[in-house]
Structure 1
Amino acid sequence: MGTYKLIALDMDGTLLNEDKKISAENQAAIREASAQGKVVIMSTGRGAISAMPFVKELGLSTPLVVVNGSEVWASPDTLLKRTLVPIETIRNLHQLAVENDCWWWAYSVAGVFNRESEGLDMDQHEWLKFGYFTDNAEKLQRIRDVVSSWGTLEITNSHPSNLELNPLGISKATGVETVCQLLGIAMSEVIAMGDSENDIAMIREAGLGVAMGNAQEEVKRIADITTVTNNEHAVAQVIRTYLLT
């Protein structure tokens, strides 16, 4: 077993239980790890605005990776790096959603917009990520095939019924690597935990890649280990087994 210095945590389906809460067990383990000088960071598909209340709840002042790596924060109040999706690409992604009559949402620097956003002028915003949701698997695959043919975007998901699009070359892995460079830590000293396609890159690159018990099968296949589910305090179990001395 390596000596791990940092743990990168996906939020939904990993740190958060099905009620979107951080269990007392997970909280206690994170605070104990921080007290021992270990670095605990969020690495999430959520935007900063959505992630920050949980970061504050845990009392963390560490870096964080949000919007699947499109933003990296040096601390909760200091943006380190931001990678935008070109407006032309956003227009094309939006058109694809309209053509396929499916729910869409998009993260901009200003906040999250979706199909119900009134009077949205896309040209007035800087964009970080675009997403689709549909229970129609055939429709979802059709959208994936079209976007894939462009060759300009990272295509992942955070649920089997959605797609998440980030700039090519941007992922949670690149975000965590940026944090490691900032802190002088090697990726071999990182534990990464997640449950969905958007976690695969960081799970693969980390010294210890952990798939949740509730993870998608592809995530379990590439992970070093599979732990218990997000309703069974998996984060606490992994921290106590692999991070704490």
Structure 2
Amino acid sequence: MYKLLISDLDESLLNDSGNISTNDLATIKLMQQQGVKFIPNTGRGFASVQPLLKQIGTFKQAGEYVISYNGGVIVENSDNHVLTSHYLPHQIVAQIYQLARSQSDLGVHIYTLNDVYVYNIDNYEQAYIDSRKVQTIEFNEPTLDSLTTSPIVKILVENLDHDRLVEFQKLILANIAIPLSQTFSSNRYLEFNPTGVDKGNAVLELCQKLAIEPADVITLGDNDNDLPMIKTAGMGVAVSNSINSIKKAAQLTLKATNNDNPITEIYQTLFN
């Protein structure tokens, strides 16, 4: 009996406009009535997920959760109580920021616990951010000295050319001494978390707190940063628009893309 449905948001649950479908919203509420918790597991911060929580009925609810920042933070929705947190060393974030600033075609997002600072964001990227209802703070300082007292959960660089991100990843590997968790997402981002921090380990952390076996968990994803949770769950599910590595790791690949009611197909396939 599955007890948790843990889902990536962008390009998985949410359609290309950044919204959940009416059918999937109804299906999530039906599953909740049958005792299955729905938990977002996203690279975004938990603040940007609050409108979705209102839709699915878990906003400010005790015993309901969000996994955010690629597993960097798990919160209980009641008062956004932080259950687990994993922060990057400030000097490492500063190094990545300086390397990104030396590349004029890269945008940067810096995630503290409660805010997102963005550097060198063009109009196309801003439109994507707006479609996801993410509030950001423009940041154009030459160093991160002003953020010294703010714990940083994640930093990412942005470019629509995947090969360009791979080039930057090589630059990071050549210049940053300590290991980092590095993943690609949304066909536009290269994300950096502390080593060992990923969506899969966060699923295991939450399962331990809830005394639920990973075998009783369904995860849904589409991209590189979702791979650890696809492998961790008893039932890893890929949307049709997933990259090949997700489809190969998943136990179930849907016919549905993120635009075609994926949660409803999961329910029809696994619960009927």
User: Shorter-chain-normalised TM-score: which range?
Assistant: over 0.9
The code of the aligned residue for 1:109 comes to L
Q: Indicate how the Cα distance of structure 1 residues 198 and 138 shifts in structure 2: closer, same or farther if over 3 A, else same.
A: closer
TM (norm. structure 1) is 0.93
The code of the aligned residue for 2:263 comes to V
Residues 91 and 122 in structure 1, CA contact (< 8 A), matched pair in contact too? no
Alignment counterpart, residue 214 of structure 1, candidates 238, 241, 245: 241
TM (norm. structure 2) is 0.84
Q: Give the Cα separation in 2 of the matches to 1:154 and 1:76.
A: 29
Q: Which runs of 5+ in 2 are unaligned?
A: 120-137
Residue 42 of structure 1: aligned partner: 40
The code of the aligned residue for 2:87 comes to L
Q: Give the Cα separation in 1 of the matches to 2:223 and 2:78.
A: 24
SS of match in other structure, 1:163: strand
Which region of structure 1 is more displaced relative to structure 2, 176-185 or 138-147?
A: 138-147
Alignment counterpart, residue 186 of structure 1, candidates 206, 213, 226: 213
**TM-superposed deviation, 1:241:** 2.2
The code of the aligned residue for 1:69 comes to G
**TM-superposed deviation, 1:126:** 1.2
**RCO higher in structure (CA 8 A, sep ≥6):** 1
Residue 113 (structure 2) pairs with residue 109 (structure 1): yes
Aligned residues: 242
Residue 84 of structure 2: aligned partner: 81
SS of match in other structure, 1:8: strand
**TM-superposed deviation, 1:123:** 1.6
Alignment counterpart, residue 146 of structure 1, candidates 165, 168, 171: 171
**TM-superposed deviation, 1:148:** 3.6
**TM-superposed deviation, 1:41:** 0.6
Map 1:1-245; keep pairs closer than 5 Å: 3-60=1-58, 61=61, 62-77=64-79, 78-101=81-104, 102-115=106-119, 116-119=138-141, 121-149=146-174, 150-227=177-254, 228-242=256-270, 244=271
**TM-superposed deviation, 1:146:** 3.0
SS of match in other structure, 1:157: strand
Q: Indicate how the Cα distance of structure 1 residues 238 and 126 shifts in structure 2: closer, same or farther if over 3 A, else same.
A: same
Residues 47 and 114 in structure 2, CA contact (< 8 A), matched pair in contact too? no
SS of match in other structure, 2:9: coil
RMSD value over aligned CA atoms? Answer: 1.6
SS of match in other structure, 2:185: coil
Give a deviation string over 1:139-181, Cα, whole Å, max 9, x none: 3112212334534210112123320111100111111111111
Q: Which runs of 5+ in 1 are unaligned?
A: none
Give a deviation string over 1:72-101, Cα, whole Å, max 9, x none: 113342210111111001101101101222
- Give the share of equivalent positions with the same residue, in percent: 30
Q: Give the Cα separation in 2 of the matches to 1:197 and 1:155.
A: 9
Give a deviation string over 1:210-243, Cα, whole Å, max 9, x none: 111111222112211211101110112102322x
Residues 74 and 179 in structure 1, CA contact (< 8 A), matched pair in contact too? no
